[in-house]
Chain A
Amino acid sequence: MPAVAETIETVQSVTESGYKWGFETDIEMEFAPKGLNEDIVRFISAKKNEPAWLLEWRLKAFALWQKMEEPDWAAVSYPKIDYQDAYYYAAPKTKAGPKSLDEVDPELLKTYAKLGIPLKEQAILAGVEGAGETPAEAFPAGGRMPVAVDAVFDSVSVATTFKKTLEAQGIIFCSISEAVQTHPELVREYLGSVVPQADNYFAALNSAVFTDGSFVYIPKGVRCPMELSTYFRINAKSTGQFERTLIIADAGSQVSYLEGCTAPMRDENQLHAAVVELVAMDDATIKYSTVQNWYPGDENGVGGIYNFVTKRGACRGARSKISWTQVETGSAITWKYPSCILQGDDSVGEFYSVAITNNRQQADTGTKMFHIGRNTRSTIVSKGISAGRGQNTYRGLVKISPKATGARNFTQCDSLLIGDQCGAHTVPYIENRCLSAKVEHEATTSRIAEDQLFYCRQRGLNEEEAVGLIVNGFCREVLKELPMEFAVEAQKLLAISLEGSVG
């Protein structure tokens, strides 16, 4: 009976979690002792051979953190986190940091290859055929570009590709630990200048114990010739990942930066508390795209990553622009508000977001736009999709100061509900103190219309495919903002995240 085999296959594909990145890499690791105290902060700093000012900076953050309280205003619920029950430093054992890709542990290379992120200077990101050993310069302007990758594995950066090509243009792209050694003046000037140590509970924690992350500096007038990317991987058990990313786009420069992340499937919750700071000077443009695919936990809400992240960009210069695009499909809990401080006159902030919660996932995400300079403009487009027992909240602030004459904001938040056990929430804040500013906000909540489903099914799509198609259409405005390689990936992710949510 061939039907039996088919049935078994079907049942398996339904019951199997769609999370394909849930494997674990067996590699020799070095840990700091479990727990969190001043000694751990000193340990991390010493491990990274940091200058005294940075250790002091960390210790100050730690002291501040101890006095702060964990925020409880977000619409998420989770058991109290025991901050002493985790490792704050976990790194693959290596000899003094890899000098070149050849020296990277093959086990790690295999891990990234399996994730679709080959750490060879040849290929483009997942889903797209590698282009052979082609030097970046061979790519025509405007054509498909290779992507330079900084790979962060638990607490440390294990490899950064295309460094030489980028250096030729004066672009610095390396791990932040390396930048502390090689460009201390830049790190010292900008670290914490957008997200200060005491900004919030998780940012303070990150400031004290951050272990690695990416550092980017684009010199004046340089247009970065390829996409820069960081791939974050949590691997070890009972660890938290605390990365810190700092991107500085000097006057007239341009950069597009991508961020991806995954973690093994485990029944424990792991904490990811990152800080990302962006600085854009006069006429500079930073485009920051994220496809967040941390392990979301199983259908009963066991395990998964707590993604408590502070991301903020400062448009310091006139006519500068920062654009955030995020596709949030993973994590058990997401707490994330990529924001823009629009200081420079005529500066522009953008936030495009798709957030999906399925099973027991919870997401409280949105943005803040601070209009300070004249004629500053911001656009917010947020698409939330709730399925299963997921809870999805958009939370955003548009604040217009009295001097931001001519400021303009447009916000659109749409929520889609799939199933009657989930929730969709919208909490926008508008604070305006400027006569000539114009702010518009729109929000809608609905489910997939029966007639749309009927139309698709009538044309031979099954229900799951139909929902996938409709959801992709619902998210189109955001997905089209993603660099192409990511857009392909993101569309696939949407379908996977919603697996099992229909019927």
Chain B
Amino acid sequence: MSAYLDFGPDAVLLAGLTGDNWRLKDYVARGGYSALKKILNERILPEQVLGEIKLSSLRGRGGAGFPTGLKWSFMPRNAPEKYVICNADEGEPGTFKDRDLLRFNPHAVIEGMIIAAYVMGCARGYNYIHGEIWEVYERCEEAVDEARAAGFLGSRILGSDFSFELFNHHGFGAYICGEETALLESIEGKKGQSRYKPPFPANVGLYGKPTTVNNVETFACVPLIVNNGGQWFLDLGRPNAGGTKIFSISGDVERPGNYELRLGTPFAKLLEMAGGVRGGRKLKAVIPGGSSSPVVPGAIMMETDLDYDSVAKAGSMLGSGAVIVMDETRCMVRCLERLSEFYHDESCGQCTPCREGTGWLSRIMHRIEHGEGRPGDIEALDRVAGDIMGRTICAMGDAAAMPVRSFVKHFRSEFEYHIEHRRCQVADHV
């Protein structure tokens, strides 16, 4: 067996994983499926499990940070057909934690989904897996087969009255499907275009039935909470932000990777675990919560703790925990150009501000980066981004706008230099 992968000393979700010990027998050997067995054998009521989840203060790990217990409680009790969905469409640039969870420990996610299904009374679930990680999809197919063969999935699980079927659904290249209602459309065999809300999925979800969608990491936390209690999980983090969180750190660091930290750990600590800025260079900027979260100047970030409230105070979002680090040699214009291109590429095209606005932003950024900037471009960027924000069907509009506004806000002089001198202020290009 290969050596344990290093996810940091506080790891509980990723602890003990080697990359080879993903199979059901390994998971069971680590105490896996004991939470499910406990619930079913001891006939713990769904409300009791829900109580522990609420106590744990677990918040959604996909980016929005919505309290999980509260979300589950929105599901109507007596609907005959309900669905639980795992959002494994991890496409937010900089985020790569769900891939590791699914390939190294798929059964933790499966067990979490089964417990969630038990709590919410769902008979069927889907795991929507990012299109680009085919190998992980295949592994999840195997894992589901293993769980079914072992009696953890199917009818009358472990001899109880509870039945649940789980299937994997493979995406095929659309960032927008990470948005939960676009994901539901996609499972229904349509384009991944977000639905307007209300109605919310808890009332009208997959096939029009009550549905709850959670992130991979959120589900993976559930067995731990059931086994150790909500209070234990809460104590791992901070009030209003229980537990550990997996941070995916990438960009200009020595050792990019996933690190599992208690919520509230200083960013400086994470940077240190990742070996510091690559080549010992100076930290310029950090995108702390995936590409959609506002960029934060390095100096501010070095003073910020990694939890929902602290990162918000620093002017950004904890988001999915994807930390993109940029060093002093990076051109902020070039960085934003690439992100704007991404949002232009990925806009679903359904609603006007996002469809038209992302193209507009991308075209301005392309001109500035290629020495064709004009006076007024910076103001236009800010205004167009502002005109998109808050006016679209889903959060994708804001996701496209926030990087633009924050880059312009914090690094305006670089943009001005680009426009005035028709070239880059920073020596090195990305």
A and B: bona fide binding partners: no
Chain B residues in the interface with A (C-beta under 8 A): none
